[in-house]
Amino acid sequence: MKITPDKPHRTRIDLTDEVAARAWTKKLGKSIEEIAAAIEKVGDSAAAVKKELGCQDDVENKQPAES
């Protein structure tokens, strides 16, 4: 699968792309500096960075609504 500029890789965090970096800060609710520190510690895997920052993934951690 070829990754095109208009379709960023969603499992890796790349802060060198200004638009992608802004999107990650918005999605994670963290500053670029916080995300960069997490990447330095655990690598650029989105899942690892989310775990390091204590962020919940929108899809994986959704609890079913109680009825």
Q: What number is the average pLDDT over the span 28-37?
A: 96
**CA 48 – CA 55 distance, rounded (Å):** 10
Predicted TM-score (pTM) of this structure: 0.71
6 and 17 Cβ atoms separated by less than 8 Å: no
What are the pLDDT digits (tens) for 11-22? 999 999 999 999
Per-residue pLDDT at 66: 55
Predicted confidence (pLDDT) at residue 27 exceeds the cutoff of 80: yes
| Burial class of residue 25 in the structure, from the number of CB atoms within 10 Å of its CB (0-12 exposed, 13-18 middle, 19+ buried) | middle
